Amino acid sequence: MKFIRLRVANYRGITAAEVKFGPDGITLIQGPNEAGKTSLREAIGLLFEYLDNSRHRNVEAVKPVHRDEGPEIELQAESGPYAFTYFKRFLKRPETTLIITKPNPENHTGRKAHERADAILRETLDVDLWKALTIQQGDAIHQPDLARQTSLSAALDQAAGGRPTDPAEVGLFDKVRTEYLRYYTERGAERKELTDARTALTRSEEEASNIEQAIRSLDDDTERTASLQEELAQLKEQDDRLTQEVTAYTTSLAEIRDLEGALSTSRLKLQSAQQSEEAAHRDRDFRQALITRVAEADQEYKKINAESAMSVPVLEQAQRELKKTQVTFSQADEVRKLADKNAELRRADFDYYQNKLQLEQLGERKSRIDEARKNAAQAEKLLRCNKVTARVLESIEAAEKELLAAKAKLETGAPQVRLESLAECFMIIDGKDTTLSKGSERSLTVTSNLRLSIPKKLNIDVIAGASFEKLEKRVVDCQGELDCLCENASVVGPSEARQAYETRNEASRVAAAKTQIEKENLRDLTYEKLAEMLMGLEQTVPAYVGNRAKHPAICPDLESAEKEWKSSELTHRQAAHACELAHQTLDVARGVWNDHNTKHHQSRASLDLSSKHLIQARADLKRARENISDDGLEKALAQAVQVVASENAGVQCAETALRTKNPERVKALSETAKGSLQTTHNRRDAAQTELTVVQTRLKIHGEEGLYEKLHAAQTACERLMTDSASLHRRASSAKCLFETMREERVKVRRAYVAPLKEKIEQLGRLVFDDSFQVDISEELRITSRTLQNITVLFDSLSGGTREQLSLIFRSACSMIVSQNGGMPLILDDALGYTDHNRLRLMGAVLAKAAKECQIVIFTCVPDRYGNIGEATCISLR
Amino acid sequence: MIRFLHTSDWQLGMTRHFLSEGAQDRYSQARFDAIRAMGRIARDEKCQFMLVCGDVFESNQVDRKTVARALEALKDVPIPVFLLPGNHDPLNAASVYRSSTFNERKPDQVQVIETSAPIKIADGVEMVGSPWMSKRPVTNPITDAIKALVPAKGTIRICMGHGAVDTLTPDRHAAGTIAVATLDRAIGEGKVHFVALGDRHSLTKVGVGDRIWYSGTPESTDFGEVQSGYAQIVEVGEDRITTKPVQIGQWRFIERARVDLNAADDVEALRKSLEEIDNKDRTVIRLNLVGSLSLTLSGALQNHLTAAQDVFGAFDVRDEELLLVPDDTDFTNLGFSGFADATVQRLRNKIVDGGIAGTEAREALMLLLRLAREAV
């Protein structure tokens, strides 16, 4: 597309203005601020966008100031094969004309003219991009805040939504997205409103369902009431019927009871007759038994009497034998007793000798123990007094050694005074008169101080030094310590201590030996037991001989006593054995006699008893016959049998009468009827109770207005369902619209990326170098520039570079709008941040772009565009 | 001759889901007002009593308030009123007529028919009712009631019944259906002189003569009722009978079975026809829309329907057969191009494909149109 001429009249502050663009390349329109540059650019947009009768605020905005005229815009242009002049007057006397001169002349007016112009644009241009660029040109590209520049992407959004001239407004896509976000989150999840609607509907449905259930229960109760009432009526009928049956059976049962009474009476009579018959039988049998018993008793008596007579001689023979064996036993027993006595004496003798020996031994053992105990007591006493233990002795000996050592040191370390007498000399040494003979020598050891005094002539004091005093003090200390130890041990000196120690050791040994001696002599006895035994023996042993019988004589010693004792024991055992045998024989004889004697006595007793029985039986029979004779008994029996037969016939008659009434059946039926009646009563009570419960329930719930509540709930439910459906429908439509539009938008963006990149890089290499590359985002923004393999984010580039890249970007856009001629690129004082060198290079860019699209530059600084090559310059006044 | 007012099917407590909250209140009140209106008419027409032939209440489980308000309205009726339990309010254990509210508030002149024993209303006038004792009786109670009757000599006998008659119901053999022949025969034999029926909501004569009638409901309840909203004044003697319908109802149910909408003129015509309906707040409208409209026209239609919805008692629109077909004019002047235009084309294609996605696409287009217009 190419602009040839633009005229505006009554447009904002412009009364009339006309610009004729250069036929090719760049048109540089120069003029001061407020000369109307921006208005001209804006006018082209209004011309193509709005109908002449539009009252859009963008149109209203260009109304002329202080004039009641309609703004006019006329553009002469070429686009593709078309050449046309397009005119519009807005607001006042609106008018549109389109005069096409090429390829075929056409004239249009009004709406048709607008539509034809629109069609020409669509035919020859990428209308979306063209509109977007028109929008984009609304912002001055050289503003310092490049971020505010309308991005191509946003411009495309607005252009697509039919909003080409007001970049500040929210685009259609944003509206669609806002609508979508009313229902869904950015991540596509449903918002609370949708879920709430669903929840509310569910709750409402539950409520309606609950009321429905309550109504169903009420209906059930209603039906149940009817069925219970019916059941109660049936039960009443049944009750009446059963009551009648029970009454009838009660009457029958009374009759049966009467018959049963009669039968019972007959049976009692029969029983009585039978008992009488049995009694008669018994009497007759008893008489027979009495007669038999007399005969048997007589026979028994005779038999026992014969047996008794035969037992007497046998008993006498046994008694004789018994006496004989008794004599034999007495003799044997006498011999045994003598042997026993002798053996006992001999045993005592042996024990005497034994005890005597033991007395001696025990006496010795006790003496040894007593001796040991006495010695031990003395030793312990000594040990208690003697304090010189091994350790004490060791301490004393150590102290003694220390003292001797200290003394030796004193001896060797003390100063010596040697006196050599030149003549006989009298002197006093330490107060002791001493006379030294001529030529004699004497050495004195000065332990502390020493006074040599020659009377009336001289006193010599020899005083030992400090070290000597220390040695002496040491001797004194050691002596003190030794004395102290000896005193503690209650000894005079070390020698006595050593002696005391020996004594102590000896005493300890004696004390220790006591235990051993006790153990050896006591053995398994205690001392007390030993003493007790000894005392017992001392009493018994000496008395034995005195108390002993004189004969036979005692054996002389232990050995012979033992021998005699064993011999007497043997004799005693033999006598005892003989005695035992005699005793056994006696027992046998006594047993035989006892048996015969017992039998004899039994025979006598049986005979007596049998005699008594016979007498008693004879008396009983006699008494019975006196009472009633044997014939009388037989007659009574025959009469009783006859009575029983008669009563038996009566009983059978009564039984027949009762059987006719079938009492079992009547009783069973009566019980059944009573049971059924009770069951009926139970059922009636249960039904009545249930009926009361159901009726109470009906009374309570029947007046709750459930029907209207249900309808209210259902209505609420239906409304919620409708609302929810409507809400979800709106949400789905918003989603459908948003997703469709987003996909289409992405497609368009992608379609622009590659050609734009190619064109930008082609132009950019004129400014930078051959390695120049850019990245274009799907949002159609330059995101980074790469130069010499170094990539820098767009936002990190300098202001000047960003301005240059933006201009290159727009030039590229203008070039790709149309396959043939692009569209005019309108620049409003661009390149304010570009340095002189870059201005020159950017001039080359514009010149190259101008070969493919028309470039119109509005500027108040024409010098800035001194390097743009061939251009048409127009001055705007 | 005896003169009385015959009515039935008051259906007190009836609710209609399609009515808005305010409309439902008006609708309910209209039914109570109808009782008072019939009371006034009966008095003016010198009726001796009023027969209500069943379904006085919509259900036995109506709210206490409904019962109380009904009895309050009945207090204003100055003549004896006989209420017959019908299939909606049978005299069962849960019967509204046995509720404490009913029995405590029942005016003296009101009597519930509890058995089919003849009731002497006046000298020489007898009334035989046939109350429904359960919701699902094996035979209609009137059948047994008539069977038990002997010819009424010297007495005018009126029979009250409730239920569908076999000549008017498609399910002739359903339990509880009344055989018209039985009624005609009873009239012919002189057992009965007039049969006052309830159940059918339209005023309808039944049988060969002029002595069997449905009074219809005094206040319309649904679409499809032919002559509802009436009661009738009956004057009956052994040899003569006259009936006079009296309009009572205030509500109308209007259904337009087919409204063709294809062009702007159709939409305009519908608007005008709705506009011309009077007494809108007591009118229930149902429209069945058929045809196809562009999105723009659909928008206009929606505006008219929304406006109508605000003024009518209830407004039920069924538009399942109304197609919304976007056309080029819908998006003219919106200046859509690029991806917006592509979006429109894709959605239009989806509409052509139909199905749920088509419906969704149609709604999406409507939304797009609204958003675009908001933007202008």
Query: Above 90 in pLDDT, residue A384?
Result: no
Helix (H, G, I), strand (E, B) or coil at B169: coil
Distances (CA, A) of B366 to A222, A777, A808, B347: 53, 32, 41, 10
Mean of the pLDDT values across residues B107-126?
93
CB-based contact B93 A694, cutoff 8 Å: yes
- Residue A733: closest CA among chain B residues belongs to which residue? B364
- Write out pLDDT tens, residues B154-207: 899 999 999 999 999 888 888 889 999 999 999 999 999 999 999 999 999 999
| Beta-strand runs (E) in B218-368 | 230-236, 241-247, 252-261, 283-293, 314-324
pLDDT at A606: 87
> Smallest CA–CA separation between B241 and chain A, in Å?
39
CB-based contact B360 A706, cutoff 8 Å: no
Query: Above 50 in pLDDT, residue A4?
Result: yes
CB-based contact B334 A162, cutoff 8 Å: yes
Sheet holding B81-83, edge to edge: B110-112, B81-83, B49-52, B2-7, B230-236, B241-247
Percent of chain A beyond pLDDT 90? 16
Question: Chain A partners of B343 at a C-beta cutoff of 8 Å?
Answer: 737, 740-741, 744
pLDDT at A118: 85
**Residue pair A226/B134 in contact by the 8 Å Cβ criterion:** yes
**Residue pair B201/B9 in contact by the 8 Å Cβ criterion:** yes
**Residue pair A767/A809 in contact by the 8 Å Cβ criterion:** no
Length of chain A: 877
CB-based contact B94 A745, cutoff 8 Å: no
Gap between the Cα atoms of A219 and B8, Å rounded: 24
Q: What is the DSSP string of B153-177?
A: SSSEEEEEEES-BTTT-S-TTSTTP
Cα distance from N-terminal residue to C-terminal residue, chain B: 77
pLDDT at A236: 94
Gap between the Cα atoms of A292 and B139, Å rounded: 102
Considering only CB atoms, A740 lies closest to which of B65, B346, B375, namely: B346
The phi, psi pair for A817, rounded to 5°, reads -55, -40
pLDDT at B321: 87
At how many degrees (to 10) do helices A172-183 and A192-385 cross? 50
Closest to A107 (Cα-Cα) out of A96, A98, A116: A98
CB-based contact A161 B134, cutoff 8 Å: no
CB-based contact B336 A740, cutoff 8 Å: no
Tell me which amino acid residue B360 is: E
pLDDT at A819: 60
Considering only CB atoms, B60 lies closest to which of A49, A175, A702, namely: A702
Gap between the Cα atoms of B362 and B326, Å rounded: 8
Q: Is the backbone peptide bond immediately before B78 cis, with ω within 30 degrees of 0?
A: no
User: Angle at the Cα of A134 (from A130 to A138), degrees rounded to 5?
Assistant: 160
- Write out pLDDT tens, residues B323-354: 877 777 777 666 677 788 888 889 888 888 88
Select the residue from A152, A733, A748, A779 to test the B interface by mutation, using most B Cβ atoms within 10 A.
Answer: A733
CB-based contact B364 A729, cutoff 8 Å: no
- Write out pLDDT tens, residues A14-26: 888 888 887 778 8
- Write out pLDDT tens, residues A351-376: 888 898 888 888 898 998 999 889 89
CB-based contact B371 A179, cutoff 8 Å: yes
Gap between the Cα atoms of B249 and B313, Å rounded: 14
Gap between the Cα atoms of A577 and A336, Å rounded: 8
CATH class of B2-247: alpha beta
CB-based contact A705 B99, cutoff 8 Å: no
- Residue B12: closest CA among chain A residues belongs to which residue? A708
Q: Where are the domains of chain B?
A: 2-247, 252-375
Q: Identify the band that residue A766 occupies on the pLDDT scale cut at 50, 70 and 90.
A: confident
Considering only CB atoms, A741 lies closest to which of B64, B65, B343, namely: B343
- Write out pLDDT tens, residues A701-712: 888 888 888 888
Question: Chain B partners of A704 at a C-beta cutoff of 8 Å?
Answer: 61, 63
User: Does the interface ipTM go beyond 0.85?
Assistant: no
Closest to B79 (Cα-Cα) out of B40, B114, B106, B117: B40
Question: Chain A partners of B24 at a C-beta cutoff of 8 Å?
Answer: 715
CA torsion A774-A775-A781-A784 (nearest 10°) is -70
Gap between the Cα atoms of A163 and B338, Å rounded: 12
At how many degrees (to 10) do helices A127-136 and A152-160 cross? 120
Select the residue from A737, A742, A752 to test the B interface by mutation, using most B Cβ atoms within 10 A.
Answer: A737
Closest to A508 (Cα-Cα) out of A392, A376, A373, A374: A376
Sole residue written with tokens 């933006």: A806
Gap between the Cα atoms of B147 and B130, Å rounded: 12
Q: What pairs with residue A14 in β-bridges?
A: A11
Query: Above 60 in pLDDT, residue A166?
Result: no
Q: What pairs with residue B110 in β-bridges?
A: B81
Cα distance from N-terminal residue to C-terminal residue, chain A: 26
Q: What are the residue ranges of helices labelled H in A489-629?
A: 494-522, 527-547, 558-627
Considering only CB atoms, A708 lies closest to which of B66, B93, B366, namely: B66
Tell me which amino acid residue A402 is: E
Topology of the domain comprising A2-143+757-875: Rossmann fold (3.40.50)
The phi, psi pair for A57, rounded to 5°, reads -65, -25
Q: Identify the band that residue A247 occupies on the pLDDT scale cut at 50, 70 and 90.
A: very high
* Neighbour count for residue A47 (Cβ, 10 Å): 23
pLDDT at A132: 66
User: Tokens for A169?
Assistant: 């407004």
Q: Where are the domains of chain A?
A: 2-143+757-875, 390-503
Q: What pairs with residue B316 in β-bridges?
A: B286
Please list, in sequence order, all residues whose beta carbon lies within 8 angstroms of the beta carbon of residue A146, skipping any fewer than 6 positions away: A799, A802, A803, A806
CB-based contact A699 B343, cutoff 8 Å: no
CB-based contact A226 B334, cutoff 8 Å: no
pLDDT at A738: 93
CB-based contact A160 B59, cutoff 8 Å: no
**Residue pair A855/A27 in contact by the 8 Å Cβ criterion:** yes
CB-based contact B93 A718, cutoff 8 Å: no
Question: Chain B partners of A170 at a C-beta cutoff of 8 Å?
Answer: 375
Considering only CB atoms, A175 lies closest to which of B67, B96, B371, namely: B371
What is the residue-averaged pLDDT of chain A?
A: 85
**Residue pair B5/B30 in contact by the 8 Å Cβ criterion:** no
CB-based contact B343 A744, cutoff 8 Å: yes
Considering only CB atoms, B64 lies closest to which of A229, A705, A737, namely: A705
Give the HSE-up count for residue A333: Cα atoms under 13 Å, Cβ half-sphere. 10
Considering only CB atoms, A161 lies closest to which of B65, B66, B340, namely: B340
User: Tokens for A284?
Assistant: 């007759």
